[in-house]
């Protein structure tokens, strides 16, 4: 006969998909009842309407049936405020935070974490997180595509990676990475959405129906600071920031807020795009930010005969690298990611590791890892 101890032991292997802790450790499993080989229990979710409720139910049922149960009946409830506070403290490691002004979001998810004047642990002197800002001189050169694929490729190398979609007006990372859910708020803690091994936060999570953002500079800076102080990032090896194109307010805030950030400049091979991108590089140099190198996107198209056709010109990336006294990290060809039926892994703009362009991004990730490990 199945025992309660066996059920609890089996469920220790079932994680909350967003908190990445065992449902037993989080105290979510209650009221286990066993009738011969039928098991009935309650699972108490951290919030009502948990977007991954079905996933949790499937995992719990599968774990119980693996014990030999003929049926696993799962009832759901939600935690009290006190229980959520306990879970939040557990995830933070017992630390306390004071409420602060939350991000405006038209009634959607909001969080209340460390005050805006308090330093995020990621930005502290003891932090080992490497910050990489991905920037460009103009829009339309594939900067966000490079950000998403670099982040996923670093995650494939076993790194802990976060992405801040700091392109407040032109946010696109959630769509590119196939993210359909929003951040979960537990008590006063906001958790970034995890997708393809990468933790992501974006302005796109805080607006309704793809509405335009109509803000001036000071509000942009406040939002960026919230992305550090309001979000529970946990430990990261790399934080990738997808900056707006050009040298505007957000780019300047990043340079001032994260002086240790390194930069990757994205351009196309066209000479005019490279000319404009040089301004973003010049800003990095003037603010003493290290430039890791240039990514030349849309470098060529491989035609049906297997020949490389530079349909957008050539030489722009190399010219930009020479002007900024750096190097071209990779040349990324034009091509769509292969369609995938696996919804767990599909993302519209992310290339698989075995695709030719996916291999280019893996090369970029390894180069970035090597450069970031070199102590100056």
pLDDT for position 265:
92
CB 133 within 8 A of CB 254: yes
Q: Which residues lie below 8 Å from residue 72, measured CB to CB, with a gap of 6+?
A: 39, 40, 60, 61, 64, 65
Q: What number is the average pLDDT over the span 95-114?
A: 34
pLDDT for position 94:
46
Helix residue ranges per DSSP H, 99-172: 143-156
What dotted CATH number matches 121-373? 3.40.50.300
Does residue 2 sit in helix, strand or coil? coil
Residue 169 has pLDDT above 80, yes or no: no
Residue with tokens 């599909």: 346
**CATH class of the domain comprising 4-88:** alpha beta
- Beta strands 328-332 and 38-45 are unpaired
pTM of whole model > 0.85? Answer: no
Number of H helices, E strands in the chain: 10, 15
pLDDT in tens, 271-307: 887 888 887 787 777 777 889 999 999 999 988 888 8
Residues of the chain with CATH 3.40.50.300: 121-373
Give 106's Cβ-side CA count (13 Å radius). 12
Please state, as a whole number, how many other Cβ atoms lie within 10 Å of the Cβ of residue 270: 18
What percent of the chain shows pLDDT beyond 70? 82
CA separation for the pair 60, 28 (Å, rounded): 11
pLDDT for position 105:
38
Backbone angles phi and psi of 249, in degrees to 5: -60, -45
Residues of the chain with CATH 3.30.300.130: 4-88
pLDDT for position 250:
62
Please report which confidence band the pLDDT of residue 33 belongs to, taking 50, 70 and 90 as the band edges.
very high
CB 66 within 8 A of CB 12: no
Residue 119 has pLDDT above 60, yes or no: no
Average model confidence (pLDDT) across the chain = 81
Please report which confidence band the pLDDT of residue 344 belongs to, taking 50, 70 and 90 as the band edges.
low
Residue 37 has pLDDT above 60, yes or no: yes
CA separation for the pair 56, 61 (Å, rounded): 9
pLDDT for position 98:
30
Residue 314 has pLDDT above 80, yes or no: yes
pLDDT for position 355:
92
pLDDT for position 100:
30
pLDDT in tens, 234-245: 889 999 999 887
Backbone angles phi and psi of 236, in degrees to 5: -130, 145
């Amino acid at each position: 006969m199945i025992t309660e101890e066996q059920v609890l032991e089996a469920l220790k292997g079932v994680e909350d998909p967003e908190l990445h802790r065992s449902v037993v450790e989080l105290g979510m499993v209650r009221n286990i009842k066993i009738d011969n080989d039928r098991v009935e229990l309650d699972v108490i979710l951290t919030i009502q309407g948990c977007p991954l409720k079905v996933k949790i139910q499937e995992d719990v049922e599968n774990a119980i049936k693996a014990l030999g149960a003929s049926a696993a009946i799962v009832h759901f409830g939600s935690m009290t405020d006190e229980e959520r506070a306990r879970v939040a403290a557990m995830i933070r490691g017992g630390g306390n935070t004071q409420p602060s002004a939350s991000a405006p979001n038209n009634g959607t998810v909001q969080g209340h974490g460390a005050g805006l004047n308090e330093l995020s642990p990621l930005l502290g002197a003891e932090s080992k997180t490497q910050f990489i800002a991905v920037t460009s001189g103009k829009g339309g050169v594939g900067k966000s595509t490079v950000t998403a694929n670099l982040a996923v490729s670093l995650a494939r190398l076993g790194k802990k990676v976060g992405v801040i979609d700091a392109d407040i007006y032109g946010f696109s990372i959630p769509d590119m990475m196939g993210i359909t859910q929003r951040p979960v708020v537990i008590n006063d803690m906001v958790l970034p959405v995890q997708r393809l091994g990468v933790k992501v936060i974006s302005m796109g999570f805080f607006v309704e129906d793809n509405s335009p953002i109509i803000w001036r500079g000071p509000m942009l800076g406040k939002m960026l600071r919230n992305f550090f102080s309001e979000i529970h990032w946990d430990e990261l090896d790399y934080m990738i920031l997808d900056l707006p194109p050009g040298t505007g307010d957000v780019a300047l805030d990043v340079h001032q807020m994260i002086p240790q950030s390194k930069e990757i400049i994205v351009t196309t091979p066209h000479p005019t795009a490279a000319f404009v991108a040089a301004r973003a590089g010049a800003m990095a140099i003037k603010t003493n930010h290290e430039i890791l190198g240039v990514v030349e996107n849309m470098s060529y198209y491989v035609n049906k005969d297997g020949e490389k056709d530079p349909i957008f010109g050539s030489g722009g990336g190399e010219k930009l690298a020479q002007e900024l006294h750096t190097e071209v990290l990779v040349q990324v060809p034009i091509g769509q990611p292969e369609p995938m039926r696996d919804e767990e892994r599909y993302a519209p703009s992310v290339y698989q590791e075995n695709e030719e362009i996916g291999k280019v991004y893996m090369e970029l990730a390894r180069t970035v890892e090597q450069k970031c490990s070199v102590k100056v």
